[in-house]
Chains A and B, each alone.
Chain A
Amino acid sequence: MSGPLISLGCDVGAAFTKLALLGPDRLLGSRVVRTTGRIADEIDGLVGALVAEAGVQPGDLAFVGATGSGGAQVRLADFYEDELTCVAAAVGYYLPDTELALQIGGQSICSVQVNGDGEVVSFGRNDKCAAGTGRFLEMMSKRLNEPLARLDDLAARAAQPRDVSSQCVVFAESEAISHINAGVPVPDIVAGICGSIGRIVASQGRRARDARLFTLTGGVARFRSVVRVVRRRLDLEYMPFPQDPQLAAALGAALLEADDAPTPASAPGPGPGTAPPDGEV
């Protein structure tokens, strides 16, 4: 095949569907939309729009990789890979020295230990319980009548975060409601919930052995107040994921096949994020 290698990753998650269009050395475009019951039909249109917007000819698209709990619905896909394999590939590419990724999705928390080649060494997955997952934030967003995207800004304004003691999302919701009824300021409640999520994520991370550097991926990793708590509670050095962390699995799906069948001319060069700045996402 001729021309630069361009690939697309589709991550159909429990809450959101993420698309990443990857060029030889940079992200050409992305989409994040809510996963609906009709997502299988919507994806074709989303892909078409994304590709057109990036000025890519459909024939230049080398492959489409699908992942996520709903990844099997991507009819355009050339292959399907497990979400954690994809996250590991993305972490290996953008942060080659980072040994641990904590992936916080809409319905699960996973820890993935990654080697320098972006392969999964070991992993842990909690998808049995909504505690610590994005579902917690979604529930609060509904309850507080605040858009999900605004919750992090609200949490940043907290004067005195009000802890929720229950891990269970159902019990924590009751606690949060009694806080609301008792007149606790909303930012303090949201910050308390972010703290609770951060603690649960950190305890998942503490099980990893022999890791020195860690990163956070998945939609919840966009919440600075969650990231702050995880960093404080984990005795590891934090490496911010240099792209939107919610795109990590989609990026990995776009990277995988390229790694499997590299040709010197078309293999992706070092990404922009190999030497990420230190700091908050």
Chain B
Amino acid sequence: MFYLGIDVGSLTAEAILLEGTRVVASATIAALANPLDSAQEVRGRVLGERGLGPVDVRYTISTGYGREAIQTEGIAQQNLSEISCHGYGAWCLQPRVRTVIDIGGQDAKAIRVDERGGLDRFAMNDKCAAGTGHFLEHMSRTLEVDLDELGPLALSARRPVRMTSRCTIFVETEVLHFLQRGRTRANIAAGVADAMAERVSALARRVHPVAEMTMTGGVAKNVAVRREVEKRLGLPLAHLRFDPQLVGAYGAARLAARKGVDRLAARQEVDR
């Protein structure tokens, strides 16, 4: 039995194909202008990898940007919020997880899940770019350091700078001033990671984080931000051994698998 999860974000779109509960294909593409096109394209990629067609998939769940339209167009049978999908996806990967911090390109969420991976409570910031992936992208551009290198560079800092602002725009100005004053990129990158971690931790505190805690989304790859969040919240971040950017699609696929199994059971019930 094949199940599909599709997660269309503001910058990228991901799909995960499961056979039972095992991942058999995954794909990430740069998001297209229309989320429906993104969904179709990324679905084509994962199915093509296994030589399958849409009819071979028992159940598909969409999440993310345009998830309703993706269902309405018949690409998915159901749509669920990113919060449910990230929470469940992280829980499936590590069933002791109770707190999930998901940082996307344009928003950030702190999620508490129960012992079955269901949503307990959440807090979200989609109003302010500070504490989202956008913040790090801006700083990586201003510092002229690749996004992937920002974390390791920050860890090498010996005298991190301290940002006084929260706003992305104002921190960017601070970064420029620090560069003009000859501070090293490593020290500035550490200040950026610190400022980022402060916003993320403030959001996480709103759901009263408990162990185990983990992080999903692209920012989870930044080692310096991870370390600062751990320090501030006094909890270690569990490693999921899974691409953190695929957790939403994985959660959607696992929920699709659960739904497919439920429906099969229901049908067998009726048949009997």
Q: Which residues of A contact B (CB under 8 A)?
A: 37, 107, 128-130, 135, 139, 166-171, 174
Contact = CB atoms under 8 A, between A and B. Distances in A.
B15 interface: no
A170 B127 contact: no
B168 A166 contact: no
B97 interface: no
Given A170-B134, A170-B138, A171-B106, A130 B170 contact: yes
B184 interface: no
B169 A135 contact: yes
Interface in B77-92: none
Contacts of B170: 107, 130
A169 B166 contact: no
Given A129-B166, A130-B167, A130-B170, A168 B129 contact: yes
30 contacts: A37-B180, A107-B170, A128-B165, A128-B166, A129-B128, A129-B166, A129-B167, A130-B167, A130-B170, A135-B169, A139-B169, A166-B127, A167-B127, A168-B127, A168-B128, A168-B129, A168-B168, A169-B167, A169-B168, A170-B129, A170-B134, A170-B135, A170-B138, A170-B168, A170-B169, A171-B106, A171-B129, A171-B134, A174-B106, A174-B134
Interface in B137-177: 138, 165-170
Interface of B: 106, 127-129, 134-135, 138, 165-170, 180
A130 B127 CA distance: 13
Contacts of B134: 170-171, 174
A1 B171 CA distance: 48
Contacts of A128: 165-167
A139 B129 CA distance: 15
- Pairs of residues from A and B, 8 with the lowest C-beta to C-beta distance, nearest first: A170-B129, A130-B169, A129-B167, A170-B168, A168-B128, A130-B167, A168-B129, A169-B169
Contacts of A37: 180
A224 to B, nearest CB: 25
A168 B126 CA distance: 9
A167 B127 CA distance: 7
A171 B107 CA distance: 10
B106 to A, nearest CB: 7
Contacts of B168: 130, 168-170
Nearest to A37: B180
Contacts of B106: 171, 174
A213 B160 CA distance: 48
Contacts of B127: 166-168
B131 to A, nearest CB: 11
Nearest to B165: A128
Contacts of A129: 128, 166-167
A37 B181 CA distance: 11
Contacts of B129: 168-171
Contacts of B180: 37
Contacts of A139: 169
A183 to B, nearest CB: 12
Contacts of B166: 128-129
Contacts of A135: 169
A258 to B, nearest CB: 35
A166 B128 CA distance: 9
B180 to A, nearest CB: 7
B31 to A, nearest CB: 12
A94 B180 CA distance: 41
Contacts of A167: 127
A130 B166 CA distance: 10
A135 B127 CA distance: 18
A135 B168 CA distance: 12
Nearest to A170: B129
B125 to A, nearest CB: 10
A172 to B, nearest CB: 10
A148 to B, nearest CB: 16
A174 B128 CA distance: 13
Contacts of A107: 170
Nearest to A178: B33
Contacts of B138: 170
A206 B67 CA distance: 37
Nearest to B105: A174
Contacts of A130: 167-170
A130 B167 CA distance: 7
A275 to B, nearest CB: 40
Contacts of B128: 129, 168
